[in-house]
Structure 1
């Protein structure tokens, strides 16, 4: 069901888009985004169509709106973990600063934000559509020709190359901002001061604990000869240690430069634009990243690890990771210049950071994929019900995952490959 959107909020978004108050709002249509890819896991999404009259001309403007989840426990998770707060600040503060650091003909691959209202009182659940409810109103990038890849397909080499080039542009903006900005006594708006406390909330640690316990239990069920007889405790301990590396990624390896990373570069958060070849094939040419709820100030390889380990299969990564890192690094140098790149991130450092932080690329898919692919077990049918956050990610679901692996061959293949690579990469197999 579409969440109600206040007319005053829409007027402000239109004013910010047009750069003038000289317009008349003629009509507003709100359409809730359904249960497909674009619905998101951590919020309610709506598309807005706004009819405005400007100088006697009737125009139709399109927006995309994001609101926190409606169910109490799900909303509490998003608010307590400051996911919505981070996204508001990322769109309204950090993104403009980074855009200003790029040459005028370039922009970071994010949607433009036209209005946001952050949490007023985290202890109170506001009435939907009220002046207290959090909201972010963005451009609808589908009108730029951007689209999701439906069904969470694995990424082929063409799509991976597009993502590497767009990540390089995003990361270049952060590098250039840090390099060009003048020292100021007011550091409150800088990426470092805002993102240093990213993982401080206890709810994030609870999530890590439940994900670790889930992998440990599932491993004992799936491979009892390897992880039965109490070895699940060893798996749990190794997983918690790997999550600690994620939480401390910005400080664990001081030899690597930190930048503002997207932090959640999996399939559902990437929209691609395409060109059609003479033969009628659609070829990806660019992409936009959405959902800035987990922006991080960490080594840039973090975004690459999350994208590749969720979006591609193990055999693909073994064949193509180095060439994709080379493409990313070459493109990054085109934006920031080779001299600055060699000071900030020489290719040898990128390769070594990929090895040192690889555990991040192992644990994130182990947490995400069992939730993402659960519809495989149901024959692709969606329940239509909102996610039960406690059931989905805040409890030990290991036995359920192991059972689902037996119910669905496709699900079992993806999850068991993911878990086995994780266990091997952590030195447990």
Structure 2
């Protein structure tokens, strides 16, 4: 889209309201035409249009022009994308988070902790013209991790920083839950749209399945096919039919685990905590090497109320490099819990409602299998690069979009498995770990997931 076309998307009334909130003045005057550019160079934000809007404005008490850049998210322009966004209800969910949740997080923080998500200046949601005006983190020095981190997973330093910030975010949601509007005891009651997962849920027979169920079904088939070509336990599990029987149960298992925890061990989770949704600042260490210093979470379209292990394990298995996850697994779990505990202390909340031992047990014994499953079934499509999601937004067609949503582009997956050894190696590693988790005794005759 041209700059003029992008500028037409920006509604001046909504922009004015955002500037009023940002400046604290009811009388804001733009001093020149706005500058609008795409906020992403890729199709990563395929459920929204992302813009960077640069403005110059004045307020009566200070006639000196002020320059500001805003990050603007609005509904996608194409109908085939709009239909999916409405079915998932993701834009509404994010509007609820920024409009209803964030103010309470900021109130609970009270200046004692930094809320690790962008500031919000304006939200509007009517189902047709939804828009968010957010802080432009790039203006404050934040940026995505390098391509190596995003493609191959975060290293240890990035991973531990994310764990700390996740502990802060979750602690703030726990503290803010105590100041919900009268009569509301939990976030699920106060924000019902965040009480149900947007992607993983079961439906009665004959009803339309969840939108991305087809991608998971493709992943299930790929896992079994790849396992059948691996020696030892994976091949035995695939040939016996037991691997297929188990993996077909995991959609429902995942759907149950993503519901609010029955023991009340719940927070408002980010819901999509992987490397593309993290932004970092960097500072040189004593040797002049740039190290991650601060980070914030972006893209809250899949936020949900559930056990905190969901966020922690999702990012560990879909965002951390394999070698670093193996090396730092226990340290990441401990770092998260200590951050949660320390943040709750700062917020005068008291101790976490579960001990470290209880949390670690939940992570390892209950929730880890779901994360290993997601890694196994989604690695094949996520590692496709541009064969899964075109780099240029303009290259997306309705036909390709439907293929991605329904199958994850299964033809490209099988082609890469045959011709791309590094790709195949990553998929095989994910499949092996899933087999090891569901057959923990090393025998196909014993599995806690066999009925």
Mapped to 1, the partners of 2:350 and 2:376 lie a distance apart of 33
Report the TM-score when normalising by structure 1.
0.86
Return the offset for 1:261: 0.7
Return the offset for 1:109: 0.6
Instruction: Say whether residues 1:84 and 2:94 are aligned partners.
Output: no
Instruction: Say whether residues 1:212 and 2:216 are aligned partners.
Output: yes
Deviations 1:35-88 (A, max 9, x none): 348x42322211000111223211111101112223322221111111111000
Note closer, same or farther for the CA distance 1:6–1:229 as it changes in structure 2 (3 Å cut). Answer: same
Please give the residue correspondences for 1:215-234 in structure 2 after superposition, counting only pairs within 5 Å. Answer: 215-225=219-229
After superposing the two structures, state which structure 1 stretch, 5-14 or 392-401, moved more. Answer: 392-401
Deviations 1:166-223 (A, max 9, x none): 0011011112123x33782356975564422334696994345313321232134434
Mapped to 2, the partners of 1:371 and 1:297 lie a distance apart of 27
Note closer, same or farther for the CA distance 1:34–1:250 as it changes in structure 2 (3 Å cut). Answer: closer
Deviations 1:90-123 (A, max 9, x none): 0110111122112423232110111122133xxx
Return the offset for 1:375: 2.5
Select 1:12's aligned residue among 7, 17, 21: 17
CA contact (8 A) 1:64 1:138 kept: yes
CA contact (8 A) 2:39 2:71 kept: no
Note closer, same or farther for the CA distance 1:191–1:249 as it changes in structure 2 (3 Å cut). Answer: farther
Mapped to 2, the partners of 1:396 and 1:167 lie a distance apart of 29
CA contact (8 A) 1:217 1:398 kept: no
CA contact (8 A) 1:377 1:407 kept: no
Deviations 1:403-423 (A, max 9, x none): 212322332222222233234
Hey, what does 1:124 align to over in structure 2? Answer: none
Note closer, same or farther for the CA distance 1:175–1:344 as it changes in structure 2 (3 Å cut). Answer: same
Instruction: Say whether residues 1:142 and 2:138 are aligned partners.
Output: yes
Return the offset for 1:256: 5.2
Hey, what does 2:73 align to over in structure 1? Answer: 66
CA contact (8 A) 1:115 1:138 kept: yes
Return the offset for 1:385: 1.4
Note closer, same or farther for the CA distance 1:183–1:144 as it changes in structure 2 (3 Å cut). Answer: closer
Mapped to 2, the partners of 1:229 and 1:358 lie a distance apart of 20
CA contact (8 A) 1:220 1:232 kept: no
Structure 2: runs of 5+ lacking an equivalent: 445-451
Return the offset for 1:333: 1.4
SS of residue in 2 equivalent to 1:394: helix
Select 2:34's aligned residue among 28, 35, 39: 28
CA contact (8 A) 1:215 1:236 kept: no
Hey, what does 1:260 align to over in structure 2? Answer: 268
Mapped to 1, the partners of 2:433 and 2:386 lie a distance apart of 21
Select 2:369's aligned residue among 353, 359, 362: 359
Hey, what does 1:346 align to over in structure 2? Answer: 355
Note closer, same or farther for the CA distance 1:198–1:32 as it changes in structure 2 (3 Å cut). Answer: same
Deviations 1:270-315 (A, max 9, x none): 0011112343311111110000011111111111101110112334
Report the TM-score when normalising by structure 2.
0.82
Return the offset for 1:329: 1.2
SS of residue in 2 equivalent to 1:307: helix
Instruction: Say whether residues 1:318 and 2:316 are aligned partners.
Output: no
Q: How many residues are matched?
A: 415
Mapped to 2, the partners of 1:252 and 1:161 lie a distance apart of 26
Note closer, same or farther for the CA distance 1:57–1:173 as it changes in structure 2 (3 Å cut). Answer: same
Instruction: Say whether residues 1:369 and 2:367 are aligned partners.
Output: no
Mapped to 1, the partners of 2:29 and 2:185 lie a distance apart of 40
Deviations 1:295-349 (A, max 9, x none): 1111111111011101123343222111111111112111113996655121011
SS of residue in 2 equivalent to 1:30: strand
